[in-house]
Amino acid sequence: MENSYLIETRDLVKTYPMGEHTIVALDKVNLKFEKAEFTGLVGPSGSGKTTLLNIIGSLDSPTSGSAVVMGRKVEGLSHKQASALRNHHIGFIFQTFNLLPVYTVFENVEFPLLLLDYSAAERRKMTMVALDWVGLADRTRSKPAQLSGGQSQRVAIARAVVKKPALILADEPTANLDAENSHHILQTMERLNRDLGTTFVFATHDEKVIDYLRRKITLFDGAVAKDERMEPQRPGGEKR
Amino acid sequence: MIIPKLALRNLLGAGLRTWLNVVVLSFAFVVIIWTQGLYEGMNAQAERASVDAALGGGQYWQEKYDPLDVFSLEDAHAIVPDSLGAMIAANRATAILVVQGTLYPKGRIHPVMIKGIDPDQQLLSLPSHFLKTGEDRFPALIGSRMAKSTGLKVGDTVTMRWRDAHGTFDARDVEIVQVMKTIVPSIDQGQVWIPLDRLRILAGMEEEAGLVVVAQGALERPEAPGWVFRDLDFLLSDIKQLVRMKSAGAAILYFVLILLAMLAIFDTQVLSIFRRKKEMGTLMAFGFTRGRVIRLFTLEGALHGVLAAVVAALYGIPFLTWFARRGWALPEAMDSYGFAIGEKLFPVYSAGLVVATTLLVLVITTIVSFLPTRKIAKLKPTDALRGRMS
Ligand SMILES: Nc1ncnc2c1ncn2[C@@H]1O[C@H](COP(=O)(O)OP(=O)(O)OP(=O)(O)O)[C@@H](O)[C@H]1O
Ligand SMILES: [Mg+2]
C-alpha cells in the first residue's frame, strides 16, 4: 500500500546551523498525503511550514529522514531528476510571488509550459484559461511592476496551475487577496482538485483558506502537533 | 530553442538597462576599431612615404654597402655596371653615392652621411632639384630634423669634411640651399644631400655609386655583378620591425580599451545577475536545470555583445567610412612621435581587425556573464530563491 501515497515523509528533520547552535526547522515529521488531498499546514510563524513545502517540492533536501514524493525519494534525486520532477508534476505558489519582472503577465503564466512539449497554440489556450480562472484575462500585457499585490498573487496562482500539475504547493496563497478574490481563487482550486484530482498542500494562517480545507496539519516548532480531518466549512465551495 | 527565445525576451524586457550596456559596449567597439585603424593607417603611410622618398621600387646595393655599418662605407662604392647605367640613362633608376663625413655647424662636430644624388632625378620624391645651382655655389640639402639638431638654416654656410677614395681627409664649405620637411627619418637624420657629380669629384669616385634606386614600377632586374638587389620587403624590414615594436604599445592601448568596456559590462552583468538570484531560483523551481539557467543567463550576456556589434555597425560604419575618406589633419606635435607621418592621416581598417575585435568582445561578454551565473546556479534552489546577496 505504500505506493498509494502521493507524499510520504519519514522522520523528516531539517536543521540550519546558526553559529554554535542549530535551528531545528523540522523535527521528525512523519506525514502521509494521499492523491487529491486538499490539505493545509498551519502553525505560528517559524514553525516550519515553508521548510516542509520546500522539501516536498524537492527545492531543498532534508538533513535526515526521508521524503518520498510521487514514488521518488527527494533526498536521493540528482539535480536533474529533481528539476524534471518539478517541471512535470509540481506547481509552486510562493509566499513572495516571485514573478519574472521583465515578462508580461501572459509570459509569466505561460512560462512553465515552455519547458513542456506544448505547441504555441496550446500554450496560448492554456494560459488564457488559467488567467480566466484568476480573473486577469484582461491584464495579459501588464508587467508585474504594474500590478497590485493581490493581482501579483493571482498571476502567481495562474502560473502554478497552468500546466495542471499533480501537486500544487501553495505558500500563503491568499495573504494579499481580499475576501472576494480569496474565495474565488479557493473555489477555483477546489474545482481543479475535484475535476482533475490535483493535490493541494497549503501553508497558511488565513481563516478563509482553513475554511476550505479537508485536512489541517498543525506544526509547532517543527513538529506535527495536530493532524485533523475536517469537513469544509464552506458549503458554497462544495456546491460550485 | 526555448533558451534563445527567453534570452532575447529577458534582454529586450530589461529595456533601458540593456541598451545602456549595449551603447557602452558599441562605443568600445567603434573606438577600438577607430584607434587601431588610425594606427594601421599611420604605419601604411610611413611605409608609403619611405618608398616614395627613398626606397623606390627596390635598390641595387654595391655588395659591401650596409647602411647600418658606418665603417663598411669606406669600401662600399664601385663603378656603376653598364646594365644599371642603362637603366639610369632611361630614367628608370638613379644612382646614389654615400661617403662618410662630418659637419662643423658653429664649431660643433656632427658626423653625417654625405649622399650624392642626381639633382635632375624625379624618381624619388626627395626634392633634389634644389641642388640645381650654378657652379659658383656648393649646395647642400638637409631635412628638418637635421636642421633642428645642427641648428642650420637655409642660407647658412657650414664646413663639411669627408674622406676620399684614398683615405685622405679634405674639407670645404657648403651652403644649405633648402631644409626639406620630410616625414621619412632615413633621408633626414644625419644625412646631407649634395649633387652626385660634385661628390664623385670630391671623393675621387668618378662614375661610382654605393646604391642604385630602381624606379617604382620598373620591373626589369638586370644582372649586375658585384651588386645585390634588395627588394622592398628587405628594405622595409626595419620599418616593419619598428612597427612591430610600436604595436606592442598599441596592443596595450587596445587591451585597456577592451578592459574598460568589459568593466562596464562586468559591473552591470555581475550586479544584475546577483540581483537576479531570486529569478534564477524561480526558474529552477519551475524545472529549469542548472545547465539551462547557466545557458540562459550566459546567452543573455553574450547577446549584449551581439547587439553591441549591430549598434556599433549602425553608427560606426558611417562614421569610420567618413573618417577614412576625410582623413585626419595631424597637429604638428605628432611629428615628435619620431615616425614618418604625413600631413593627413588616413586610417586603414582591416577585416582582421574588425573580426578580431568583434570576436574578442563576444568572447569576453560571454565569459563575464558565465562566471557569476555559474556561481549562483550552483546554489540550492531554496538559497537562490531567498534572493539575498551573499
Ligand atoms: N535558510 C535558513 N537558514 C537558517 N534558518 C532558517 C532558514 N530557513 C528557515 N530557517 C528557520 O527555520 C524555521 C522554520 O522556518 P519556515 O520558513 O519554515 O517557517 P514558516 O512556518 O514558513 O514561517 P512563516 O509563517 O513566517 O512563513 C525558522 O526558525 C527559520 O528561522
Ligand atoms: Mg513561510
Residue B308 and residue B204 share a domain: no
Higher pLDDT pick, A195 / B242: A195
Query: How confident is the model over B45-63, as a mean pLDDT?
Result: 88
Tell me the C-alpha distance between B348 and B46, whole Å.
13
Residue B243 and residue B178 share a domain: no
pLDDT number for residue B388: 60
pTM: predicted TM-score of the whole model, two decimal places: 0.72
Q: Determine the Cα angle at B171 with ends B166 and B174, to 5°.
A: 130
Residues of A in contact with B381 (CB under 8 A): 59-60
The reply to whether B295 falls in a domain is yes
Q: Name residue B141's beta-bridge partners.
A: B178, B193
Residue by residue, pLDDT tens for chain A (240 residues) are 445 788 999 999 999 988 888 899 999 999 999 999 999 999 999 999 999 999 999 999 999 999 999 989 988 999 899 999 999 999 999 888 889 888 899 999 999 998 888 999 999 999 999 999 888 999 999 999 999 888 898 899 999 999 999 999 999 888 888 888 888 888 888 988 998 889 999 999 888 888 899 999 999 999 999 998 988 776 554 444
pLDDT tens digits along A45-92: 999 999 999 999 999 999 999 999 998 998 899 989 999 999 999 999
pLDDT tens digits along B310-335: 998 899 888 888 888 887 776 554 44
Query: Are the C-beta atoms of B85 and B202 separated by less than 8 Å?
Result: no
pLDDT number for residue A32: 92
The reply to whether B271 falls in a domain is yes
Q: Tell whether A54 is within 8 A of chain B (Cβ).
A: yes
Residues of A in contact with B14 (CB under 8 A): 102
Query: Are the C-beta atoms of B132 and B117 separated by less than 8 Å?
Result: no
pLDDT tens digits along B158-190: 999 998 888 888 999 999 999 988 888 888 889
pLDDT number for residue B343: 63
pLDDT number for residue B332: 53
Q: Where are the domains of chain A?
A: 7-229
Domain containing B203 equals: 58-230
* Residue among A14, A127, A11, A128 nearest A63 (CA): A14
The reply to whether B135 falls in a domain is yes
Neighbours of B118 (CB within 10 A): 18
Query: Are the C-beta atoms of A78 and A42 separated by less than 8 Å?
Result: no
Tell me the C-alpha distance between B72 and A43, whole Å.
101
Residue B267 and residue B225 share a domain: no
Last residue of a domain, which of B207, B230, B253? B230
Last residue of a domain, which of B203, B230, B257? B230
Residue B100 and residue B127 share a domain: yes
Q: How confident is the model at residue B339 (pLDDT cuts 50, 70, 90)?
A: very low
Last residue of a domain, which of B183, B214, B230? B230
pLDDT number for residue B362: 86
* Residue among A135, A216, A209, A213 nearest A173 (CA): A209
Tell me the C-alpha distance between B204 and B163, whole Å.
10
**Ligand 1, atom 26, residue with closest C-alpha:** A45
Q: Which residues of B touch A (CB under 8 A)?
A: 2, 5-6, 9-10, 13-15, 278-279, 281-282, 284-290, 380-382, 385
pLDDT number for residue B340: 42
Nearest to B381 among A59, A112, A114 (CB): A59
Output the CA B294–ligand 1 centroid distance in Å.
28
Burial code (b: 16+ CB inside 10 Å, e: under 16) for A32-49 equals ebeeebbbbbbbeeebbb
For the domain made up of A7-229, give the CATH fold.
Answer: Rossmann fold (3.40.50)
Q: How confident is the model at residue B229 (pLDDT cuts 50, 70, 90)?
A: very high
The reply to whether B390 falls in a domain is no
Q: Please indicate whether residue A25, judged by its CB atom, sits closer than 6 Å to ligand 1.
A: yes
The reply to whether B42 falls in a domain is yes
Residues of A in contact with B382 (CB under 8 A): 54, 59-60
Q: How many residues does chain A have?
A: 240
Residue B314 and residue B215 share a domain: no
Tell me the C-alpha distance between A109 and B233, whole Å.
67
Q: How confident is the model at residue B390 (pLDDT cuts 50, 70, 90)?
A: very low
Residue B120 and residue B43 share a domain: no
Query: How confident is the model over B244-271, as a mean pLDDT?
Result: 74
The reply to whether B158 falls in a domain is yes
pLDDT number for residue B209: 92
The reply to whether B205 falls in a domain is yes
Residue B97 and residue B44 share a domain: no
Whether residue B13 has pLDDT greater than 90: no
Tell me how many domains chain B contains: 2
Tell me the C-alpha distance between A212 and A236, whole Å.
10
The reply to whether B38 falls in a domain is yes
Classify residue B17 by its DSSP letter.
H
